Structure 1
Amino acid sequence: MSYNVIALLMFSSMMLLLLTGKRVFGAIGFVAVAAALLLWGDGGSEIAFSAAMKLMKWYPLLTLPLFVYMGYMLSESGLAEDLYRMFHVWMGPVHGGLAIGTIGLMVAISAMNGLSVAGMAIGASIALPELLRRGYDKIMVTGVIQAGSSLGILIPPSVVLVLYGMIARQPVGQLWLAGVFPGLMMAGLFVLYIAIRCRLQPQLGPALPEEERRQITRADKFKLLQAGIIPVFIFFSMTGLFLLGYTSLVESSAVGAAAATLAALLKGRLTRKVMEETLRKTLAISCMFMWIILAALCFGAVFDGLGAVRAIESLFLDNLGLGPWQVLILMQLSFIVMGMFLDDTAMLVIVAPLYIPLVGALGFDLIWYGVLYTITCQIAYMTPPFGYNLFLMRAMAPPEVTLRDIYVSVTPFVLIMVLALILVMIFPQIALWLPELHYAQ
């Protein structure tokens, strides 16, 4: 049996196991270890052991639990809710102002947590009921929360970019810096769309009533500003120390975790329940990601041993005669199709052993491609019929928001994301200028 057929059998077996509902890391790890043992006998077990040791020795992986802890501490202690109340009061007088403020909230949550599910949970539980109560169009605001929460996997500290950096063997710091400007650009495009649409159709996003605005004094505004600025200050102090070179990436994540805990303590919200919930969720998320990385490393090692990457490169470039850009576009389209059924980590683990070496062989920058992959994941999250964010929103939204409303709501935001993806593909410096500027110093 040829190595190409073996690689195809591995890939199809893995997909079959995933369709049965097995856990991602279990399906991928089982196929990898079984294939290694069948191909190379008892010595094949060394592949899994070597992958485990590589994971345990990778020092930057410490950023993962620290940043997840920071995000959950801010969320569970209610500091993130303070931030939304600040946006609510300060942006209320503008048509669509609360929706714009919600995008601002999502950017801030993304900069604190690195997971889209955290932004979705906060947006659906805090922002959505308030927006509906204020008379905002349910379809528009449902799309706003889904699109805003997807920024969590692009704006640093993105957990997805940490996983990509681990699997692609690329510096996480450069990947995070590469995600800053595309993430802010996308958030800006969302805000521009909301502002223009609410200007043309004011009934979609009514301004805060004048009598209610009069009840809010200047002192109240500044008090809310002071409360809401704490999470933002934590983020900027953490990233500022890193960018100025005072702390390493891991030290920066420790600063963020410590600052979030201290802020909760000073606000009198560091209760036993908050600490227990934060630690429990941090442990669950961190262990899940570590198992996934371990399975990915093992699967990738077996694929490398089979020479499957070189075979696929030969198929696309020699047999089919496709150019580098055509191959790249096909890869992005395959991500969108897979995203209808799988989450971002599963997609990355499944195709990383094939795509990442191929991207490098085609002459593309792997830091730039990490941003492309992440934006494509954002699009896939929101693409019907089975986009990940669509069903998260269905589970969290009130009964009056139907599945049809959720599907319709994402259309303009998906188009905006596609525009952002095209811009980053045409102009790679949108992603690369910041890491090049910082690391050239």
Structure 2
Amino acid sequence: MPYELIAILMFSTMMLMLLTGQRVFGAIGFVAVIAALFLWGDRGGYDIGFSAAIKLMRWYPLLTLPMFIFMGYVLSESKIADDLYKMFHVWMGGLRGGLAIGTIGLMVLISAMNGLSVAGMAIGATIALPELLKRNYDKLMVTGVIQAGSSLGILVPPSVVLVLYAMIARQPVGQLWLAGAIPGLMMATMFIIYIAIRCRLNPDLGPALSAEERDVGWPEKLRLLRAGLLPVVIFAVMMVPFVNGWTSLVESSAIGAIAAFLAAVLKGRMTRAVFETSVRQTLAITCMFMWIILAALAFGAVFDGLGAVKAIENLFTEQWGLNPWVILILMQLSFLVMGTFLDDTAMLVIVAPLYVPLVGALGFDLVWYGVLYTITCQIAYMTPPFGYNLFLMRAMAPPEITIRDIYRSIIPFVGVMVLALAVVMVFPQIALWLPDYVYGK
């Protein structure tokens, strides 16, 4: 049987298993192992899975994963994240759309604490959404704000998704995080500019708070500022030594986890329930990602052995004569299609064995492509009819916000994200300048 046909059969079998509701790592790992056994027999098939497991266990930066997840859950479960919103509420409520702008700021900081979009969505829907609706903000505006802001969690460091990409693409985690920082902040700024302009043109979308609500006195304002900026201080304590080369990435992640734990203890919020929930969630998510990475490595090893990547490259470039940029754009469009029924990790591990080597063969920077992939995943998360974030919002939103409202709310924000993607594609240095500067010192 031709190797190209084997590759197609592997992909189609994997997609069929996913459509039946099988777990992502189970479907990918099963196809990889069965294909290896048929192609290379008992000895070769077992060796591929075993070598993937050893490679995973030896990958030192993987230790950052539980550290950052633990840090995020400690800060969210101990309600330190709630102080952030109170700070934005008092300091920015006087602007038209100020609370919506503050919500984007909240989401950026939550992303910097947790690295998962689900955490941002949960906090935004439970803390920000009721407050915004109570103050007569337009429901389409606020629903879109929370969905768009929560999507920043997979781009702003410490992004857990970029850790997964780093392992599969064999790229440095630190470079990928630094590469995602400026595009993530740029996208957040673009969201804020859009909100400010819309609320300036139509004040009913985001009315300013009354003077009575904002007038809490300077002592209270300063207290809220100190409390709200605590996560920023924790993030700075963690990242500044790493950026300056004083600590490794793993050491910085340990500093962040310890700093978050001590902050919760000093504020009297580290209860047994908070600690137990944080540890349980950390173990659950870490194990999930490890199984996914293991399955992806095994699948990729089979693909490398088949030479399928070289065959696909020849098909695109020699037989069809496609320009490398056309191929890159087609890859991004395929992520948008897959995003209608898969989450970001599933999308990555399904196509990474094919896309990542192909991107390198076409002459593109794999760190830059990791940022493009992440932004495209953010867009796919919010694209109807089955965007991942759409259903998360539907599950958390009050009854007066319908699924039609949720679909309509994301249209302008998806437009902003597509613009951001185009800017990063045209100007790669937006993503590459910071890692080049830090690692070039």
Alpha-carbon shift at residue 211 of structure 1 (Å): 2.0
Residue type of the alignment partner of 1:339: G
Alpha-carbon shift at residue 213 of structure 1 (Å): 2.1
- Answer whether contact 2:375 2:421 (CA < 8 A) is retained: yes
Alignment correspondent of 1:331: 331
Q: How does 1:33-432 map to 2 (within 5 A)?
A: 33-43=33-43, 44-214=45-215, 216-432=216-432
Task: Give me the whole-angstrom Cα distance separating, in 2, the residues matched to 1:302 and 1:289.
Answer: 20
Task: Give me the whole-angstrom Cα distance separating, in 2, the residues matched to 1:328 and 1:5.
Answer: 23
Task: Give me the whole-angstrom Cα distance separating, in 1, the residues matched to 2:141 and 2:365.
Answer: 36
Alpha-carbon shift at residue 359 of structure 1 (Å): 0.3
Task: Give me the whole-angstrom Cα distance separating, in 2, the residues matched to 1:68 and 1:340.
Answer: 26
Q: CA RMSD in A?
A: 0.6
Residue type of the alignment partner of 2:365: D
Alpha-carbon shift at residue 205 of structure 1 (Å): 0.4
Instruction: Work out the number of aligned pairs and report it.
Output: 440
Q: Deviations over 1:317-355 (max 9, x none)?
A: 111110100000000000110011100000000000000
Q: Deviations over 1:375-432 (max 9, x none)?
A: 0000000000000000000011111110000000000000000000000000000001
Q: Deviations over 1:200-226 (max 9, x none)?
A: 110110111112223x11111001011
- Answer whether contact 2:32 2:299 (CA < 8 A) is retained: yes
Task: Give me the whole-angstrom Cα distance separating, in 1, the residues matched to 2:211 and 2:165.
Answer: 49
Secondary structure in structure 1 of the residue aligned to 2:86: helix
Secondary structure in structure 2 of the residue aligned to 1:199: helix
Secondary structure in structure 2 of the residue aligned to 1:207: coil
Residue type of the alignment partner of 1:24: V
Alpha-carbon shift at residue 440 of structure 1 (Å): 1.1
Alpha-carbon shift at residue 144 of structure 1 (Å): 0.2
Secondary structure in structure 1 of the residue aligned to 2:229: helix
Task: Give me the whole-angstrom Cα distance separating, in 1, the residues matched to 2:213 and 2:27.
Answer: 55
Quick one: percent identity of the two aligned structures? 76
Task: Give me the whole-angstrom Cα distance separating, in 2, the residues matched to 1:366 and 1:397.
Answer: 38
Alpha-carbon shift at residue 237 of structure 1 (Å): 1.1
TM-score, normalised on structure 2? 0.99
Residue type of the alignment partner of 1:344: D
Residue type of the alignment partner of 1:68: I
- Answer whether contact 2:116 2:153 (CA < 8 A) is retained: yes
Q: Deviations over 1:75-129 (max 9, x none)?
A: 0000011111101110000010000000000000011111000000000010001
- Answer whether contact 2:394 2:406 (CA < 8 A) is retained: yes
Residue type of the alignment partner of 1:168: A
Task: Give me the whole-angstrom Cα distance separating, in 2, the residues matched to 1:438 and 1:241.
Answer: 12
Secondary structure in structure 2 of the residue aligned to 1:160: helix
Alpha-carbon shift at residue 245 of structure 1 (Å): 1.3
- Answer whether contact 2:244 2:438 (CA < 8 A) is retained: no
Secondary structure in structure 2 of the residue aligned to 1:433: helix
- Answer whether contact 2:180 2:371 (CA < 8 A) is retained: yes
In structure 2, list runs of 5 or more residues that go unmatched: none
Secondary structure in structure 2 of the residue aligned to 1:34: helix
Secondary structure in structure 2 of the residue aligned to 1:386: coil
Alpha-carbon shift at residue 38 of structure 1 (Å): 1.0
Alignment correspondent of 1:11: 11
Task: Give me the whole-angstrom Cα distance separating, in 2, the residues matched to 1:48 and 1:160.
Answer: 23
- Answer whether contact 2:238 2:255 (CA < 8 A) is retained: yes
Structure 1: which 4+ aligned runs deviate by more than 6 Å?
none
Task: Give me the whole-angstrom Cα distance separating, in 2, the residues matched to 1:229 and 1:8.
Answer: 51
Task: Give me the whole-angstrom Cα distance separating, in 2, the residues matched to 1:36 and 1:149.
Answer: 39
Task: Give me the whole-angstrom Cα distance separating, in 2, the residues matched to 1:5 and 1:213.
Answer: 66
Residue type of the alignment partner of 1:80: A
Secondary structure in structure 2 of the residue aligned to 1:235: helix
Alpha-carbon shift at residue 232 of structure 1 (Å): 0.8
Residue type of the alignment partner of 1:373: Y
Task: Give me the whole-angstrom Cα distance separating, in 2, the residues matched to 1:309 and 1:200.
Answer: 51
- Answer whether contact 2:81 2:110 (CA < 8 A) is retained: yes
Alpha-carbon shift at residue 310 of structure 1 (Å): 0.5
Residue type of the alignment partner of 1:49: F
Residue type of the alignment partner of 1:102: T
Task: Give me the whole-angstrom Cα distance separating, in 2, the residues matched to 1:24 and 1:439.
Answer: 35
Q: Deviations over 1:20-78 (max 9, x none)?
A: 00000000000000110111111211100110010001000000010000000000000
Task: Give me the whole-angstrom Cα distance separating, in 1, the residues matched to 2:214 and 2:228.
Answer: 19
Q: Deviations over 1:221-266 (max 9, x none)?
A: 0010111111110001110011111110000000000000000000
